[in-house]
Amino acid sequence: MSTPGDAQNRDEVQDGEESQVEDVQASAAQSGSEDQSGDDAKSRGDAKSHGAAVGLQGDKITIRGGIPLVGRIELKGAKNLVTKAMVAALLGESPSVLKDVPNISDVRIVRGLLGVHGVKITDGEEPGDLILDPANVESAHFADIDAHAGSSRIPILFCGPLLHRLGEAFIPDLGGCRIGDRPIDYHLEVLRKFGAVVEKQPSGIRMSAPNGLKGAKVELPYPSVGATEQVLLTAVRAEGITELKGAAIEPEIMDLINILQKMGAIITVDTDRVIRIEGVDRLEGYQHRALFDRNEAASWAAAALATEGDIFVGGARQPEMVTFLNVFRKVGGAFDIHDDGIRFYHPGGELKPVIIETDVHPGFMTDWQQPLVIALTKAHGVSIVHETVYEQRFGFVDALVEMGATIQIHKECLGGQACRFGQRNFNHSAVITGPTKLHGADIEVPDLRGGFSHLIAALSADGTSTVSNVGIISRGYENFITKLQLLGADFDLEG
């Protein structure tokens, strides 16, 4: 079994969970410079461990910018799907086979967590194939869970499956990127609705299900990806019917539903964000090829535009990227749809300013705005980005301003309707005035998407930049160093 702790995940697990603003502000007010330096040191340590997990031989890149990225790269499965699909294997009574699993550190973390719970994981015949055998699921010690979880929030999603298999679960402390508050309390409340007994202990949180888990009615105040995943993974084997209102319907959620249906689950999705799950007594293993990573595809598309390059992203598909493709075209980018991927390129001419408002699917994804902001610094005019999913996603902008970008951050809701962060003292709107020339600088990666955005900025800038903490990028971008080499980037990777 596990042992106490507290956790959760996103894509990161909690896309836009309702924020506990007062707690965040009180905590921030009490934090001194020593706490900040401690956080920075931990962040650097986490970055190195993420990179080391996938064989990255350094944590700092010196980039000589101004060279268009040209070539072809290949995608594997979505980070925001494969980690949840791996957890779903806990629910089966037979082995599962998951294909196109990327070699990223978040996958390594989940692999370790499954391992300490007795799941046997072996590599399949093809690169990216994983075979997950849950025949001997067992309790794990808290220290083992904590050691493997690291900065990941995924352990919270283990709770439903473990309560079904073992009757109890423990979870360690939360981690993840510092892009906004992602409280665990709502996850715990959801589990209580199914009949879980939650006991907070000094070493973490222990859960039990003395009477088993029962179907429940759950209504989300916001279509949270993490909470939707929690309900799905818990409800499929709960006794009775579960009705989830206000569910997230991201492609990764729909692909997780596909996997659970293959296992024997009965799940219906209505057009009004209502998902109904009829609990079943038994689920079998699955065989599934993971949905491609649309966040990585958009990141490379933005890199092609910002560097005036031409990148073919193998494995990318149009249906899951329609909203991004529309904005990409409005900015002045061009793309060609092929059976085996999408070609993204700068067709020449001036880039145009746009107004973007992030939203849950089918809106413009929060993960897409950060890479695209780099291209918007080169657009002729004023662009506005209104972030409505995470309240603290513009931390990466400081480095861009240092590199010569003209970006102003505002607390007001700009460019669209008022959102839940309005009047709450969060800097969640950005005004980008261009075109501006970026120049080289020393940059420290703050989080996953912001980190890749800093790479794009350095690649498109005049002169030399040094980007440190790049191990964080290994959380969600497979073999990004090799891909940069394939695209002709001029850089050195240092220790």
What is the phi/psi pair of residue 452, to 5°?
A: -65, -35
What's the order of all strands across the beta sheet hosting 310-314?
70-74, 310-314, 341-345, 334-338
Residues with catalytic roles: 177
How far apart, in Å, are the Cα atoms of 75 and each of 89, 200, 259, 361?
23, 41, 20, 21
CA Rg, the chain, in Å? 22
